[in-house]
Structure formats: structure tokens, C-alpha cells
Amino acid sequence: MADSSNTPNAQFVAQSNNFAIKLYQQVSAKNAGENVVISPFSISACLSLAAMGAGGLTAEEMYSVLQFGTPKEKQTVADNYRQLMARLESDSTVNVANKIYVMQNYAIKSAFNSIATDSFRSEAEQVNFAESAVAAKKINGWVEEKTNNKIKDLISPDSLDAESRMVLVNAVHFKGTWTYQFDPNLTRPFPFWLSDTESRDVPMMNIKKHFAYNNFEEHGFSALELTYGGSDMTMLLLLPNERMGLSALEQKLPSLNLAELTTKMHKQEVEVFLPKFKIEFTRDLNDDLVALGMGRMFTDAAEFPDLLEQSEPLKVSKVVHKAFIEVNEEGTEAAAATAAVVRTKRAILNRLKVRADHPFLYVLLMGASQQTVFIGRLANPDHSDHSDHQANRHEEL
């Protein structure tokens, strides 16, 4: 566990969580009715590292959309990432890694390299992007290793060429065992409602223990917190009170302070019914980031003066994100990776049952500060094992 000196400040966590919600709303709206998992933390870390080398209007857009304010906050953001990475290193259930791949014969500016190394724990490696298949294999091999082989083929060879100058990659992997594990003998088929009238039997896990819980009736949902042994990561389940209430709940997300919600939950005996599920999700984030106001970095007007010693104009060609989550009787495994390719140019005694038998939101939160690491929705457990081909329906720029 981390000591307080390695805890990012509350404002930074609030900013990160605001970005998480805005991005989730953007991505989930484009994937209506589908299972979703993203790691806003991974995406923010990758973009924040790129922002350290940005200037002019590009930097202003990046800091604004990431919710950090203005580029004047550069040092504050770097300091908070340094504390956050140090804190993550002390949690054996979470593995986070950053890496910068640079075109051979190009050099990273020393000031940017020191921020990347010191605050983001990032290593740099030279590759020849002109040999795109070899370069992609090298990058993807690193990502696989850092995510316990859960994230494969993050970068496609055709996204790299002789004009590519840098690839910034963040990978995060979490594997946690429930404090109270579900008994596999109690898992049995149970209806999961896909609409008000249509259901499908799915493997439903069952446990009765003391969990933090509350029904926020004024907001139309109940919340349940599941904890992991030996980790201060928690899973927060947000279950709409109405079978088809997920869309309304997603619209309310910006007005809900997730960290505050957890302080209003009380430990009580709850019988929990939770589906086993596994989701893979891939998305090209260019359109989403443009929609949020971070579009300049993709254009020829992009300004990244502080990345490379060579004075070529640079722009971001692609931000791609891939995430995975599996929830079973033992616990949760989640992984994600993001790459940005830069080119030239309290106790209550009621007996409660929480049935997650209709579409719901889940959030993986970290530490006392409740930073959002993963967020997603389960809309259709039956399709989760092969949801990657569904979730891949993204728009190419």
C-alpha cells in the first residue's frame, strides 16, 4: 500500500475523473447497446505525456480537454504523475508501464526525456518505423508482456511508415482477487434482461456477505462496492433501478461524484447476484478526442516543439486504445493499452438482494482518492466472450 506522500492531490484526481466521465460518455454513445471497457487512466497518461512536449494552441487544447486547466500547470501535472506512478509501483495487483519509441537517428529533447523518465517512469527505445512490420511486432510484444498477454496487436503495421517519428505507449494491467470470493458451486444460469421483455440465461455468480451499499433512489440507481484482497482497488457497480435505466444513468454521470458516492454507502449484509463476464474493446480515439476539443494535434497546425531535437513539424496520426476485463468467481483481471503515433506533420439491518440482471455500469477505482482506472458497461453478457469484433466498429478518420 502507498504512503500519503505518494498520493496525487485531490484536485488532480477530480480532474482525471472528470476526463474519465467525459471520454466514457463520448465512447459509449458511439457504441450504443454494446459492452464497453476503457481505461481513462491509460488514455490520460499517454496524452499527458504527449502534452509535456506540446506548445501553443495544441498544448492549450490538450490541457483543457484533459481537465488540467492551462499549460501553466505542466509542472503540477508532472509532479502528480510522479506521485501516482510511485504509488502504483507499491500495489502488486496493478502494473502500469509507459514507453516511447523513437525513429532511429532521431533524438528526444533532454528536458522532455527527463519529465518522461522521472514523472512517467517511461523508457525510450529507437526503432526503424520504415520497417513497419518489425516495428509493430516490437511494440506489440512489449504491450503483451506488460498486460499479461491480454492486449495483443495494439499497433497495426499499416499505422507506421517512414514518416512516423514517435510512438507513445501506455499499458496498464490489473489482476485482483475478491476479498470475498464467490463459490463456483453457486454459479448457475439466471436471466439477464436485454430489454423490458427479452432475457437470456447467463452464468450468474452468487454471494451473501457484508458489502458497502446504498440505493440512491433520487438518482435512480443502487451502488455496491466489491473489494480486493491486498489491494486498495475497488469495483463500484452502478445498477439502474429500472431494467432499461442505463442510458438515463449514463447521462447523469457528470453530475455524480464517484468518490463522494462511496462515502454515502453503508456496510450491510447483501446477497449479490453478478454475471460472470469478459469484454475486449478496441477503439481508434481520434474522432472522440476531436469531438472533445483536442483536434489540433491531428492536423498540420499541430505544435510539438519540445519532443525531438530535430526541428521537424510533428503531428499525432492516431490514438488507439484497447482494453480487456474479465470478472469471475475468483476476482477481476483488467488490462488496457493506449498508443499515440506521432508523425511529421454505514450498517443498516435490512436483508438486501442486489441482482445485476440487467445492463449496468462498473468502475474500477484506486485508493482512498478513488481515481477511475477502468470504466465500462455490461449490456449483453452472452456476447462478452467475442465482443471484440462487435466493439471494433469504429470510425476511421
Grouping H, G, I as helix, E, B as strand and the rest as coil, residue 216 is strand
Residues in the chain with pLDDT < 70?
1-7, 345-351, 382-397
* CB of 327 closer than 8 Å to CB of 203: no
Q: CA angle, 248 as apex, 244 and 252 as ends, to 5°?
A: 150
Neighbour tally for 116: CB within 10 Å: 24
Query: Would 10-176+279-325 and 177-277+328-334+348-378 be classified into the same CATH topology?
Result: no
Report pLDDT for 345.
Answer: 64
What amino acid occupies position 363? V
Q: What is the C-alpha to C-alpha distance for residues 242 and 261, in angstroms, rounded to an integer?
A: 19
Strands 233-240 and 188-193: unpaired
Cell 439466471 -> residue: 190
pLDDT score for 393: 24
Total Cβ atoms within 10 A of residue 105: 8
Q: Quick one: pLDDT at residue 311? A: 87
Class in CATH terms, 177-277+328-334+348-378: mainly beta
For domain 10-176+279-325, the CATH architecture is: 2-Layer Sandwich (3.30)
The domains of the chain are located at 10-176+279-325, 177-277+328-334+348-378
Residues 156, 317: Cα–Cα separation, whole Å? 13
Q: H helices of the chain, where?
A: 10-29, 40-51, 56-65, 74-89, 110-120, 132-146, 246-252, 258-263, 286-292, 387-391
Backbone phi, psi, residue 301, to 5°: -85, 0
* CA 72 – CA 67 distance, rounded (Å): 13
User: Residue 342 has what pLDDT?
Assistant: 75
The phi, psi pair for 255, rounded to 5°, reads -90, -5
Grid cell, residue 201, equals 440465461
Provide CB contacts within 8 A for 217, sequence distance 6+: 241
Ramachandran region of residue 140, left (φ > 0), alpha (ψ -120 to 50) or beta?
alpha
For the chain, how many helices (H) and strands (E)?
10, 15
Residue type at 224 in one-letter notation: L
Residue 23 half-sphere exposure toward CB, CA atoms < 13 A: 31
Beta strands in 265-309 (DSSP E): 266-275, 277-284
- How far apart, in Å, are the Cα atoms of 382 and each of 117, 191, 233, 385? 43, 11, 27, 7
Residues 6 or more apart whose CB falls under 8 angstroms from that of 133 comprise 157
Question: Beta-carbon neighbour count of residue 260 at 10 Å?
Answer: 9
Between CA 2 and CA 232 the distance in angstroms is: 9
Q: Which amino acid is at 273?
A: F
Longest CA pairwise span in the chain (Å): 68
CA distance linking residue 377 with residue 238, whole number of Å: 9
Give yes or no for a contact between 375 and 362, defined as CB atoms under 8 angstroms apart: yes
CA–CA dist 182, 191 (Å, integer): 18
* CA–CA distance, 365 with 174 (Å, rounded to integer): 11
One DSSP character per residue, 136-190 reads HHHHHHHHHHHTTT-S---S-GGG--TTEEEEEEEEEEEEEEBSSPPPGGG-EEE
